[in-house]
Amino acid sequence: MAPAAYSDLTKASNDLLNKDFYHLSTAAVDVKTIAPNGVAFTVKGKTAKDDTIAASVEAKHVDKATGLTLTQGWNNANVLSTKIELAELLTPGLKGELDTSIVPNGPRNAKLNFFYQQQAVNARLFFDLLKGPIATADLVVAHDGFTAGAELGYDIASAKVNKYSVGVGYSNLTYNLAATATSNLSVFSAAYYHRVSPLVEVGAKTTWDSVKSSNVNVEFATKYALDKSAFIKAKIADSGLTSLSYTQALRPGVKLGLGASFDSLKLAEPVHKLGFSLSFTA
């Protein structure tokens, strides 16, 4: 099994800290369906922080015989997106991807990406074709649970390195540790995730931006499975922000999420939030 990609070195703790906290939107709806011909449709909608609504529709078709995947999307900002993926490109473990987006009479983006995975290696290469162009590459190698990775960004037009970062980690079946130095080795973070039991998960993350502040930011989260269909999560940060969420599978394909966030340093002020989310899969 290939190691995690460089951006996923802290995925276990990031998911515990950030996923399922529906207070970020006052309301959110997610609908997924699969047509008889195999095309998967995803419709999403949520309220943003400025009370506007962000909505999108996406269609995805996978041709297993050729390894070709075509994804097309459209959102209410009038952004048209197309992604073409081809697995097993030239050699086993290599995948190519062309990701484009366009706003009629507006900005355009085009990225050419390559992904390569083997038993102990996970490598990626991203080309931003219309900006720069800029190339970003990352590599992770693994051995006996230990991982080490690095990322490098290169502006082809100016022939300059524009970013670099490194990371190390260790993982097994029950816990994961990772440390990264990003933003040209100026932002340092350490993350911890532990599956204490089949019912309980805990995790924490610390971050220090050596350029912007001398303070270290700390977050802690935990998840408790009430049964096979429901779980609760709680998160607290050193800033005083406390978040709670409850997720319940109402029936197969229907999931309800409830969330709230409270600023414990401003309990008397109207800064607290409540929200909900509905997800449908058919």
Answer whether residue 191 is part of any domain: yes
pLDDT of residue 82: 97
Indicate the pLDDT class of residue 239, thresholds 50, 70 and 90.
confident
The total of structural domains in the chain comes to 1
Average pLDDT of span 87-110 = 92
Q: For 110-139, how does the pLDDT look when each residue is reduced to its tens digit (9 = 90+)?
A: 999 999 999 999 999 999 999 878 999 999
pLDDT (0 to 100) of residue 24: 56
Residue 57 has pLDDT above 70, yes or no: yes
Residue 192 counted as domain residue: yes
Please indicate, yes or no, if residue 186 is contained in any of the structural domains. yes
Dump the DSSP string for the chain. Answer: -PPPPGGGTTHHHHHHHHTT-GGGSSEEEEEEEE-TTS-EEEEEEEE-TTS-EEEEEEEEEEETTTTEEEEEEEETT--EEEEEEESS-SSTTEEEEEEEEE-TTS-EEEEEEEEEEETTEEEEEEEESSSTTEEEEEEEEEETTEEEEEEEEEETTTTEEEEEEEEEEEE-SSEEEEEEEETTTTEEEEEEEEE-SSSEEEEEEEEEETTT-SPEEEEEEEEEEEETTEEEEEEEETTSEEEEEEEEEEETTEEEEEEEEEETT-TTSS--EEEEEEEEE-
The answer to whether residue 87 is domain-embedded is: yes
Within a domain: residue 29? yes
CATH number of the domain where residue 106 is located: 2.40.160.10
Categorize the per-residue pLDDT at 42 as very low, low, confident or very high, splitting at 50, 70 and 90.
Answer: very high
| Of the listed ranges 4-8, 17-21, 259-263, the one predicted with least confidence | 17-21
Instruction: Look at residue 94 and tell me if it is in a domain.
Output: yes
22 pLDDT band (50/70/90 cuts)?
A: low
Per-residue model confidence (pLDDT) at position 218: 95
pTM: 0.84
Residue at 196 is within a domain: yes
The domain in which residue 87 lies consists of: 7-281
For residue 26, being part of any structural domain is answered with: yes
